[in-house]
Amino acid sequence: MAEINITKENFDEEIRNYKGMPILIDLWAGWCGPCMMLAPIVEEIADEYDGKVKVCKINVDEQPELAMAFNADHIPLLVVVKDGAIVNKAVGVRPKSDILALLGL
């Protein structure tokens, strides 16, 4: 499954009101070097865990209100949401194994 770009317009449908598999949200920016290092890992998880994890991305420059809602003072920020509630967070580049552990996989 491809990563889903989240905006304030689709946030409720894709994240807040979504029930089902866990959601991995990557808060990032195009100018952020560590974000670019993390992007291929997040994309790999989206491909390999299709049907088990919903992977979403929020560009903090394009969606400042969502960035503030997640307290994204530092990026990259990974947030795991299950049934509308935040269950885990991690800041910075992480190896794939750490991200899978955040997701409980």
The residue annotated as part of the active site, out of 35, 38, 56, 77, is 35
| CA atoms of 26 and 79, how far apart (whole Å) | 7
70 contact partners, CB below 8 Å, separation of at least 6: 25, 27, 58, 77, 79, 86
35 a catalytic residue: yes
The residue annotated as part of the active site, out of 4, 21, 29, 32, is 32
**Mind telling me the catalytic residues?**
32, 35
